[in-house]
Structures are given as C-alpha cells and as structure tokens.
Structure 1
Amino acid sequence: MTITVLDTHTAMQEILDAPQADRPELLRAMLEPAKGMYRYFPGEVDVVQMHALSSGFPIDRDEERCREGLAALHAADAWERIGRALDEAVAVQRAAVPDVVVPDIVVLLTLADPGDAHLMGPNLGMTANSSVSGYIVINVWPYPENLDRIEATAVHELNHNLRYTTRPDFWNPATVTVGEQVVSEGLADAFARQLYGDELGRARIGVASLADDAVFAKVVSGLGTTGMQNFAAWVHGDATAVRYGGTPVGLPTGAGYAAGNRLVDAYLAATGRTAAEALLAESAEVIRVGLA
C-alpha cells in the first residue's frame, strides 16, 4: 500500500506564473495522475473541464488571490500534514478492522476558486471527493478553519475510500439510498473525530444543523430515497442541489452530515464500538439502532 500526495504546490505555482495561453496544458499535466478517478465516467473526460466544474482554482482570472491562497496552503504545510494523517489513520483502521482493504491511494490537493460564491459561501470553502477507490481529492480555500481541519478532512475522505474499497456492494448505483450516504458521512466524521476530537473532526457544513430536530426528522424521512441525482438535496442541502440542477427538498446546507453524525453517534453509543471498528457497519443497521 502506497499513499502518494501529489506535489501540486509546485505545479500550481507554475500554472499561476505561466502565460494564460500555456495554463490549460500545465493544469492538464498536474491533473493527469489522478485521472483514474473518472474511470467510471462514460467516454473520454476532459480533466481541465472537470476541474472548472468542480470549483477548482481558475486559470483565467483572480491570479493574485490564488497566489495568496496557495502561499497560505504552503505555509500551513498542508501536503505533509495530509500525508502524515493518512499514514496514521490507516494504521488505526487496520488495527480495528484487520481485513480492511487498503488500496494504493493518490491524493490530489487543489486550491479552490475564490470567485465561486457557492463554494466560498454555503460550502465554506471546501469540497472533497473520494468516491473512487484509490483516489482522494481535496479542493480547499485556505480559510483558517479549513487549514485547522486539513488532517481531519483527509481522514474523513480516507474513511469513505476504505469503506467502499472493502465493501463495493454498499454502493450499488441501482439500489443505493440516501441512507447509505448519510450514514457514510456520519461514519467518516466519527472516524475523524476519533482521531482529532469533535471540534476539528466534524465536517464544517454539518455543524449548524447538528442540534436541529426538525432538520433531523426531515432527513430521516428521506433515507429510503434512491436515484443518485436526488442525493445532493438530502445530504448537501438545497443550495447545492440547485447549483447542480437538482430539486430542493427544504433542507439547509450540510443537513445530511448533521443527521449522519447523530445516527452514528447513537449507534456507537448503543453498541460500544469505536468509529474505526464500525467502518463496515451496514447502513440499515446503523439507522435501525440509531433511531431506536
């Protein structure tokens, strides 16, 4: 097992310093080592276009803000911290679940787009993705709160990757439910909290709704929803759903994360398991116990 944190700092610096006409191909070269995360997409994927669609840093504007953001990431030692955190988290997870499958992992850390109002506002300057085995993508604007949580963010994404690498049947696109994603977000947060504490371990977008019983009840009402095009509203909230062409359901940003934390905490308390031990817990069982 090898974890490779790509040296995107050097690459991003080169991109931002290059003439605009040269930037797309430099960006393409930076993203190419992580192209495998699109292996299930139909047809050929343009990684530069996907970078833009995913709120990655722009290559045609905001150069000075991006240089400042990149300098802040570098000053925070983000790349090295992510590498250390992932190595330590894998050791903890293997001790708890010896048969966990740990793939070779490529980590792509990118600077987020400071001109993206949705990313910088409701999403609090952070997106991340680890839905494909062997890849973790963290796209971040270096708000101080995000820099403080860089290890926890990486470990959260690792938890997803190990869960679905070991048990790919948990995410069958034809049958997967909102409940699976809600539980998986709760488990990933619980694992990050096990390592870094409640303040740093919770995904920031879920904190505001954590104690809101009405939001919790609403999310619970949708746990059986299928059709992955519907998940954004139930998990990430209406603003994100609308951003990507989905239908709002009446939920604030991060509602599914908040509900997932509550369900998983109740499950862990009832079973006496740690978050690491619960990596492969069936979502239906977590929900059953969590609601009991």
Structure 2
Amino acid sequence: MNITLVDTQQFYTKACTEAVTEDQFKYEVMAPVKEMWEYLNAPMTAKMPGGYDVVMASEMLGIWTPRKSCDNIRESYKDLLATGIYEEATEVIKHARQKFEEINYMIPLDEVVINILLGDDENTILMASEGYSGFGGIPGYILLIVVPNAFNRTKLKSALAHEFNHNVRFTHEPFNHGDVTVGEYIVIEGLAEVFAESLYGIENRGPWVCEYDEEEMAYTTEVFKDNLEVKGFEQVAAYMYGDEVAKSMGYLPVGVSRNAGYTIGYHVVKCYLENTGKTIAEATVTSAKEILEMSGMFK
C-alpha cells in the first residue's frame, strides 16, 4: 500500500502571501482526491455558475476555501505547521496498518491519499467538535480538517488513525449511506475511536465521546436499544449527533444529548472487546451484528 500526502503546504504558503483563486483550490488542493469527490457526486466544476461543486462541498464539511479571506488562515496555518502533523501523517498510517498485518488482514487498497486541510473557524459544526474533524468514508482517501487550537493540536495523529479505521472498515463492510442503521453507525464510530485510542491513548480521545453519568448512560442506552434498526442518514444522524446538532441541521430531535451515538458506540466496542478477548483490529473486520450482540449492552 502506497501512502500519499497531498502537498497542501505549497497552496497555504501561497495563500498567506497572495490572493488565491477557487480554481487554484480545486486543482492544487482537491484534484488529488478527485475520485473521492466524484464518488460523492461533487464535480470539480459546477454545471452552472454558482452551482454545486467541490468548493461548495468543501465548505459544507467545514473546510476553508478562497471564498473567504486569506486573513482567516494565516495564524491557523502557522499553528498547523507547529503541530508537526505533516511530518508525522505517513507514519501514523504505517503504524495503523501494522495492526491489521498482525492479524493477517491484508487491506485491499493500493494507495491511501491523505489531505490535510485548514478548517473554517466560522463553521459552527466544526467548531463544536473543538475545531477538528475528518472524513474517511471512501476507502483510499482521508481528509483531516483542522482549525488548530490548544485542545486539538496533540490529537491530530489520533484523528488520522480514526479515519484510517473507517477506510479499513469499509473495505470489509461497505458503508451504505442511504441504508445505514443506527446500530451499524454506532459500531462504525465506536470502532474508529477505540482503534485510535489503542494507538495514541485515552488522553487523545476525540471530543465526540462524552462522559455520561450513570443515569444518563442508562437512559441513552435504552433509547438506542429501541432504535438500533432505524434507517436513513437523516434519522440516524439525529441519534449520532444529539438533539442540539440535529435541530441545527433541520433533523427531528430524538431525545438524546450531544454526540450520543459516538459515546454509545465507543462503549459498545469496549464491551465487545472485554467480553470476547478480541483485538480492536479483529473487531474492525467483524460484523456489526456480532459486535452489537456480543457487547451485551442492549440485552
């Protein structure tokens, strides 16, 4: 497996000293992941002026684009360089890949392309996750989106490992956006976060796993127990993100706290590993059905 790091540094260095265009963003930053965008039905060039393209899609993910002032990223870019993530990204993937080699799972990918991107500090959803997020939903491609700050600057390797786990998971059990169930989605996110934690420690766990007290944990588990088979991304997203975010996205709230699905999924996977003695790499290539059943959380 080849690991390719997109040279976004050249683009951001330029953007900090001179005006850059949307076309430069498209063809210097996003062209290396063009196939990913095509899979997501985001064309490099809109079918009509002002229409949907990779720039608009990027903004929806919380990525800074040249439609906003370059002044917004000058300090962020310095801070991003200071994290060392450009130098460490390739080693993160090698380290993560080794865990699957140890269980003799040969990941069926010829290449993984990593695209490290500056986030938009005015994007409320990105900032609600402490200024960083990622996307690893298309095997072979990983986006890491960051507005560097004191909270996230040490957690970027963990975030990359989280997204790589998604890449591997979806080579084994492909993600069906329109048909995914609540149960499947909580397993997907739980696997990714426990995998990242296994590599980089609980201190680098993402903010999407919350600390619920015993009462809230019991209540939330019951809500999920009755809705594991709910399907459809909008409905599932309400369980994953919680009521506050669901309302902001125009989804119907379902009576759970922020990041409920991520939190429950994390504990489901933890319980599965404890009950079975499996490694997190082995769990990553295990069916969601088995993980949910053997976790014992929904009996």
So what's the TM-score if we normalise by structure 2? 0.88
Cα distance between partner residues in 2 of 1:210 and 1:153: 25
Q: Counterpart in 2 of 1:284?
A: 289
Deviates more, 1:122-131 or 1:7-16: 7-16
Cα distance between partner residues in 2 of 1:78 and 1:256: 28
Q: Counterpart in 2 of 1:51?
A: 58
Q: Counterpart in 1 of 2:38?
A: 39
Letter in 1 for 2:6: L
Cα distance between partner residues in 2 of 1:146 and 1:163: 25
| Structure 2, unaligned runs of 5 or more | 45-52
Alignment of 1:1-292 (within 5 A): 1-19=1-19, 22-29=20-27, 30-42=29-41, 44=43, 46-120=53-127, 122-168=128-174, 171-173=175-177, 175-200=179-204, 202-209=205-212, 212-213=216-217, 214-290=219-295, 291=297, 292=299
Cα distance between partner residues in 1 of 2:197 and 2:40: 33
Could you say what secondary structure the match of 2:57 adopts? helix
| Structure 1, unaligned runs of 5 or more | none
Q: Is the 8 A contact 1:230 1:246 kept in 2?
A: yes
Structure with the largest fraction of helix:
1
For residue 27 of structure 1, report the CA deviation from its aligned partner: 0.8
Q: Aligned residues, how many?
A: 286
Cα distance between partner residues in 1 of 2:42 and 2:68: 30
Letter in 2 for 1:157: E
For residue 190 of structure 1, report the CA deviation from its aligned partner: 1.2
Output the aligned Cα RMSD: 2.0
Deviates more, 1:261-270 or 1:244-253: 244-253
Q: Is the 8 A contact 1:130 1:161 kept in 2?
A: yes
Q: Is the 8 A contact 1:57 1:112 kept in 2?
A: yes
So what's the TM-score if we normalise by structure 1? 0.90
Cα distance between partner residues in 2 of 1:163 and 1:222: 23
For residue 11 of structure 1, report the CA deviation from its aligned partner: 1.1
Between the two proteins, what is the percent identity of the paired residues?
28
Cα distance between partner residues in 1 of 2:124 and 2:178: 33
Q: Is the 8 A contact 1:216 1:255 kept in 2?
A: no
Cα distance between partner residues in 1 of 2:190 and 2:277: 16
Deviates more, 1:106-115 or 1:93-102: 93-102
For residue 223 of structure 1, report the CA deviation from its aligned partner: 1.7
For residue 173 of structure 1, report the CA deviation from its aligned partner: 4.3
Q: Is the 8 A contact 2:22 2:65 kept in 1?
A: no
